[in-house]
Structure 1
Amino acid sequence: MRVSSSTPLRRSGRSGGPGRLGPLPWIGPAVLLILLVVVWPVYEMVRTSFLRISVSGFVRGSAGLDKYRKLFDESALPSVLVSTVVWTVVVVGLTMLVSLALAQLFNQRFPGRRVTRWALIAPWAASVLMTAIGFKWMLDRTAGVLNTLMADLGLIDGPRDWLGDPSTAWPWMMFVAVFVSLPFTTYTLLAGLQTVPGEVYEAAKVDGAGTAQTYWRITLPLLRPAFLVGVVINLINVFNSFPVIWGMTRGGPDSDTATTTVFMYQLKSSDIGESAAMSVVNFALVLVMVVLFLKVSRWNKEES
């Protein structure tokens, strides 16, 4: 029996099960992961900052804003905030400058380029805490190789406590922080450099542009997206840096070499609620810092 072409085909009253969900099966796991890993810890952090919690971890009731008042009454907080700003600006600034130079170098062809690229991955592959402890041993007052070497060369009269004095501890910690930050930033900038078309440089050369003019007018503007990614990621990582400082000085003596992240951990041993309040302040500072930077750098605006 032949079916007439004019006979309408019957459609099922139900559409396909997975089709009704749309993109939810694909984005659902990612949304769930964000809720569990980001949103829920932030909620617990804020909630804890309003509670009175004993050192053993038992909740003793609501504390209202008492923990925030106690935090802002801490005599060490102003110096810790200043140290955090200096630490972040210096480490991020030096990291970006050195990474830009290394990216330019690795973008050139020279013998051993592959080996040097691999070597740069070493600080990234190693544990940050392990690297910090390694430098701590090297700078040890009694058994450190640096004191031994400098004494043998006659550069110092006796062993120095490099990490016991904030004036020498900060430069060394900044050096280690830059050292472990270089791989990611360098490869980010290198990837940006390799996306610049060679035809652009050829056109600039035909137009008579010099090397410096080409670099400032072509290379840096086209490298801007990669540069901004490197700066933002470094701002967040360096501001929240904990392993380098804790592994080398534990923020001591007292809180003289502590940033807000380390100071938050130091407060945990005496008052968990106050430590949570410091965490909330830290979280707010990171958000403000990143938003201000993106606004100043005009992240969403095209170059005119």
Structure 2
Amino acid sequence: MHQKSQSRMSRALTPLIWIGPAVILIAVVVIWPVVVMIQSSFQKISRFGVVQGGNGFDNYTKLFDEPDFGGVMFRSLIWVVAVVVLTVVLSLALAQLFNQKFPLKRVARWALIAPWAASVLMTAIIFKWMLDPEAGLVNMILVDLGLLDALGGAEADPLGKASTAMPWLVFVAVFVSLPFTTYALLAGLATIPSDVYEAAKMDGARKLRVYWSITLPLLRPALTVAALINVMNVFNNFPIIWAMTHGQPGYSTATSTIFMFILKGTDIGESAAMSVVNFGMVIVLTAVFLKVSRWNTEVAR
């Protein structure tokens, strides 16, 4: 009897040998930093990182009283929605295109990988150089086309004003997000059986009807995963905005992640509070997205 009990316990503990390292890694890399982050948000910390004692909710009170806090959070939401929606829509079109047969299809697919393979920071810096008001390629093209005067004259600076800087930041974010999203949707398209399309063709369904009633529903699992990963990546994106504008002028192009980094230079406790708010907002956005996308609803085949 004792041997049977030991045998059952041994079988129950065997999976821990395989999942144990992963659990430890998650605990050390994910859970522990979150615990420290939350703890730090209730402490008074000097600019040099020395904990000077508890600070209650003062860090959060100070954060919410920041005059730019509301604008930064609203801008963060617009940033995520704009980049993710544009990325998904364009990726759907590109995935459908690359799923067809055409000359140099393989070369075109390889070319699509380039923005993804390159460093995001390097890509952002290249675009910043291109948008330089004096020697940037964009200004040179505008001069050649005679359009520069209409955009502000010889000192036109696309990154110097929020009204022009934010669209360019969104463009760069979409540019670097397209390859992954397109390939994720291509993988989803590859799982759709061809006989479904053949049956729809025999029934006389038009291409638009087939895409809307067959392709999109069967593509939903891949679309959900790709969009969800984009939501989390875009919300936490730092290199693009920091490299191109530093959140300036003022905080007019700063998102919550940039705002958090700026606060770190003056008040680490307040920055930790901003980190907790960021973490909570990511969870809320993810939950809302999963609710809206009905990710766990079975797709009818």
TM-score surpassing 0.5? yes
SS in 2 for 1:299: coil
Which residue of structure 1 aligns with residue 214 of structure 2?
218
Query: How far apart, CA to CA, are the structure 2 residues paired with 1:152 and 1:293?
Result: 45
Return the match for 2:112 from 109, 116, 120.
120
Which residue of structure 2 aligns with residue 5 of structure 1?
none
Return the match for 1:156 from 148, 156, 163.
148
Do the aligned partners of residues 12 and 252 (structure 1) sit closer, same or farther apart at CA in structure 2, a change above 3 Å counting? Answer: closer
Q: Runs of 4 or more off by more than 6 Å in structure 1?
A: 11-14
The question of whether the paired residues in 1 share the 8 Å contact of 2:218 and 2:299 is answered with no
The question of whether the paired residues in 1 share the 8 Å contact of 2:133 and 2:155 is answered with yes
Question: Is the aligned partner of 1:206 residue 2:202?
Answer: yes
Which residue of structure 2 aligns with residue 130 of structure 1?
122
Query: How far apart, CA to CA, are the structure 2 residues paired with 1:289 and 1:133?
Result: 29
Question: Is the aligned partner of 1:81 residue 2:77?
Answer: no
SS in 2 for 1:121: helix
Do the aligned partners of residues 137 and 18 (structure 1) sit closer, same or farther apart at CA in structure 2, a change above 3 Å counting? Answer: farther
SS in 1 for 2:147: coil
Question: Is the aligned partner of 1:185 residue 2:177?
Answer: no
Do the aligned partners of residues 25 and 148 (structure 1) sit closer, same or farther apart at CA in structure 2, a change above 3 Å counting? Answer: same
Query: How far apart, CA to CA, are the structure 1 residues paired with 2:93 and 2:294?
Result: 24
The one-character-per-residue Cα deviations of 1:41-87 (angstroms, maximum 9, x if unpaired) are 10010011011001011111100000000000000011111111111
The structural deviation recorded for 1:161 is 1.2
Query: How far apart, CA to CA, are the structure 2 residues paired with 1:85 and 1:17?
Result: 49
Which residue of structure 1 aligns with residue 136 of structure 2?
144
Query: How far apart, CA to CA, are the structure 2 residues paired with 1:13 and 1:234?
Result: 48
The question of whether the paired residues in 2 share the 8 Å contact of 1:50 and 1:65 is answered with yes
The structural deviation recorded for 1:22 is 1.3
The question of whether the paired residues in 2 share the 8 Å contact of 1:163 and 1:248 is answered with yes
Comparing 184-193 and 12-21, the one that deviates more: 12-21
Structure number with bigger Rg:
1
Query: How far apart, CA to CA, are the structure 2 residues paired with 1:199 and 1:221?
Result: 16
The question of whether the paired residues in 2 share the 8 Å contact of 1:151 and 1:159 is answered with no
Which residue of structure 1 aligns with residue 35 of structure 2?
43
Query: How far apart, CA to CA, are the structure 2 residues paired with 1:14 and 1:289?
Result: 46
Do the aligned partners of residues 217 and 274 (structure 1) sit closer, same or farther apart at CA in structure 2, a change above 3 Å counting? Answer: same
Return the match for 1:234 from 212, 217, 230.
230
Query: How far apart, CA to CA, are the structure 1 residues paired with 2:174 and 2:250?
Result: 24
Query: How far apart, CA to CA, are the structure 1 residues paired with 2:10 and 2:247?
Result: 54
The one-character-per-residue Cα deviations of 1:150-190 (angstroms, maximum 9, x if unpaired) are 11221113131111111110010000000000011000101
Normalization by structure 1: what TM-score?
Answer: 0.93
Partner AA of 1:226 in structure 2: A
The structure with the greater share of residues assigned to helix is 2
Query: How far apart, CA to CA, are the structure 2 residues paired with 1:177 and 1:229?
Result: 18
The question of whether the paired residues in 2 share the 8 Å contact of 1:49 and 1:274 is answered with yes
Which residue of structure 2 aligns with residue 65 of structure 1?
57
Which residue of structure 2 aligns with residue 298 of structure 1?
294
Question: Is the aligned partner of 1:100 residue 2:92?
Answer: yes
Normalization by structure 2: what TM-score?
Answer: 0.94
Point out where structure 2 has 5 or more consecutive residues left out of the alignment.
Answer: none
Query: How far apart, CA to CA, are the structure 2 residues paired with 1:155 and 1:36?
Result: 55
Query: How far apart, CA to CA, are the structure 2 residues paired with 1:301 and 1:184?
Result: 25
The one-character-per-residue Cα deviations of 1:228-284 (angstroms, maximum 9, x if unpaired) are 111111111111111110010011112110000110001000000000000000000
Query: How far apart, CA to CA, are the structure 2 residues paired with 1:240 and 1:127?
Result: 16
Partner AA of 2:119 in structure 1: S
The question of whether the paired residues in 2 share the 8 Å contact of 1:147 and 1:159 is answered with no
Which residue of structure 2 aligns with residue 282 of structure 1?
278
Percentage identity across paired residues of the two chains: 61
The structural deviation recorded for 1:18 is 7.2
Query: How far apart, CA to CA, are the structure 2 residues paired with 1:14 and 1:56?
Result: 54
Which residue of structure 2 aligns with residue 170 of structure 1?
166
Q: CA RMSD in A?
A: 1.7
Query: How far apart, CA to CA, are the structure 1 residues paired with 2:38 and 2:63?
Result: 14
Do the aligned partners of residues 277 and 14 (structure 1) sit closer, same or farther apart at CA in structure 2, a change above 3 Å counting? Answer: closer
